[in-house]
């Protein structure tokens, strides 16, 4: 009898071990996980949340995984849900990892995904077909967005509006020369351009307020805005572009520089600090007390705003601003999934409003 009892106990323990392994997701080394599940017997049947992001390497995109891991650690410590972060270096790798997750079983799982690009649509459609709840973050793929629990994104038009509002607050007048450093050729850049001009023409508000009608721009005024073309979010490309721009002395009177990312703004500061622009040209440009905006929350840009970096150059500017578009928004996306699993209402089109970060409030905002 004792032998039979021991055998039944051993079989029960083995069954429990198999159950926990199934609920805990793929092995970290095999799946690319950056945070392991902490499933226990008490929550073995609770939903496991897979958070799929780009690789944690550098820049805004890489920082998404860093903030995701912070939130995942919090969830694993608090329960009842377990979670892990799975990173990918390419869209094809991300598609494979989604397929691997689904192949392990689709019960008691949920997915939060930052799609690498629009080709990930095929994998997301598989998630939808498997009736697995998912939240999309940052890159929203329109063809599948209606099936998401929530589509969490920053306000790209708000970035443009915030930059325009900042310039107007510093005295920008209709028809003033503006130079826009564009990110790429995607809808992100289109929306950031649109937000800038829509604010100036009175079509869009920022922070609950519209432009003073006396300062509104006409369509003819908008012709004074020059667009750089795609910088591909590259600091070095922007640096070279600004050096070339300043190679024509007629451009030294440009006062308003709207950079659509903090990396692009830093390219301008690096150009002004380097040797690619002659000193007389730099002096002519800085004598006009230019202003510059970026966005994203880059720590180096916040250091400039604080006056701790490029201080001799930045002090000659009438203003330096970064509009919020933080990679920490991934934590909101994860929380939306938790709220959904808890049975709470979740906003499907979840746009996170922008705010302008300047010297007076920079300490209130996290950077990366």
Residues in the chain: 368
Average of per-residue pLDDT values in the chain: 89
- pTM summary value: 0.79
Mean pLDDT of 72-92: 96
Q: What does the pLDDT look like over 337-354, one tens digit per residue?
A: 999 999 999 999 999 999
Domains 23-153+328-352 and 156-324 share a fold: yes
Q: DSSP string spanning 257-314?
A: EEESSHHHHHHHHHHHHSSSS-HHHHHHHHTT--EEEEES--HHHHHHHHTSSSHHHH
Chain-centroid distance of CA 158 in Å reads 14
* The CATH number fitting domain 156-324, selected from 3.40.50.10490, 3.40.250.10, 3.40.640.10, 3.40.50.2300: 3.40.50.2300
- Angle among Cα 64, 26, 99 to the nearest 5 degrees reads 75
- In the block, tokens 């995701």 appear at 68
Mean pLDDT of 58-71: 91
The pLDDT value given to residue 221? 98
Whether the predicted pLDDT of 131 surpasses 60: yes
CATH topology of domain 23-153+328-352: Rossmann fold (3.40.50)
Which three-class secondary structure state does DSSP give residue 41? helix
Asked which of 37-41, 96-100, 139-143, 247-251 is least confident by mean pLDDT, the reply is: 37-41
Q: Is residue 205 within 8 Å of 161, Cβ to Cβ?
A: yes
The pLDDT value given to residue 45? 62
CA-to-CA dists, residue 73 to 134, 245, 334, angstroms: 20, 47, 12
Q: What does the pLDDT look like over 261-298, one tens digit per residue?
A: 999 999 999 999 999 999 999 999 999 999 999 999 99
Q: What does the pLDDT look like over 24-57, one tens digit per residue?
A: 333 333 333 333 333 333 444 689 999 999 998 8
Which residues, 6 or more positions from 114, have their beta carbon under 8 angstroms from its beta carbon? Answer: 52, 53, 54, 64, 136, 137, 138, 139, 330, 333
| 247 backbone dihedrals φ, ψ, rounded to 5° | -65, -20
Q: Is residue 263 within 8 Å of 270, Cβ to Cβ?
A: no
Which residues, 6 or more positions from 182, have their beta carbon under 8 angstroms from its beta carbon? Answer: 189, 192, 193, 227, 228, 229, 230, 231, 260
CA distance linking residue 252 with residue 281, whole number of Å: 7
In the chain, the percentage of residues whose pLDDT exceeds 90 is 83
Residue-range domain boundaries for the chain = 23-153+328-352, 156-324
Q: DSSP string spanning 4-36?
A: HHHHHHHHHHHHHHHHHHHHT-S-HHHHTBSS-
CA distance linking residue 306 with residue 362, whole number of Å: 7
């Amino acid at each position: 009898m004792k032998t039979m009892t021991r055998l039944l106990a051993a079989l029960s323990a083995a069954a429990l071990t198999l159950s926990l392994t199934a609920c805990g997701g793929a092995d970290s080394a095999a799946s690319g996980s950056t945070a392991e599940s902490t499933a226990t017997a008490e929550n073995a049947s609770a939903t496991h949340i897979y958070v799929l992001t780009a690789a944690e390497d550098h820049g805004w995109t890489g920082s998404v995984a860093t903030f995701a891991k912070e939130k995942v650690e919090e969830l694993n410590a608090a329960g009842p849900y377990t979670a892990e972060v799975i990173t990918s270096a390419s869209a094809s790798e991300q598609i494979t990892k989604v397929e691997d997750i689904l192949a392990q079983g689709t019960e008691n799982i949920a997915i939060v995904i930052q799609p690498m690009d629009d080709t990930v649509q095929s994998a997301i459609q598989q998630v939808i077909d498997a009736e697995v709840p998912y939240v999309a973050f940052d890159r929203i793929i329109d063809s599948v967005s209606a099936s998401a629990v929530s589509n969490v994104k920053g306000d790209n038009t708000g970035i443009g509006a915030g930059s325009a509002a900042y310039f107007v607050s510093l005295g920008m007048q209709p028809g003033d020369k503006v130079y826009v450093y564009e990110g790429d050729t995607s809808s992100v850049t289109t929306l950031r351009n649109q937000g800038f001009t829509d604010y100036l023409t009175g079509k869009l508000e920022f922070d609950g307020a519209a432009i003073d009608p006396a300062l509104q721009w006409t369509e003819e005024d908008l012709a004074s805005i020059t667009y750089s073309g795609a910088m591909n979010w590259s600091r070095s490309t922007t640096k070279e572009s600004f050096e070339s721009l300043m190679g024509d002395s007629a451009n030294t009177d440009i006062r308003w520089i709207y950079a659509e990312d903090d990396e692009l703004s830093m390219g301008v500061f690096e150009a002004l600090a380097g040797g690619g622009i002659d000193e007389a040209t730099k002096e002519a440009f800085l004598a006009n007390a230019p202003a510059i905006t970026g966005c994203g929350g880059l720590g180096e840009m916040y250091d400039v705003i604080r006056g701790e970096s490029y201080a001799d150059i930045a002090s000659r500017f009438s203003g330096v601003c970064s509009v919020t578009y933080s990679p920490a928004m991934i934590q909101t996306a994860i929380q939306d999934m938790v709220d959904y699993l808890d049975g709470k209402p979740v906003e499907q089109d979840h746009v996170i409003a922008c705010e302008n970060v300047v010297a007076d409030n920079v300490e209130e905002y996290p950077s990366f």
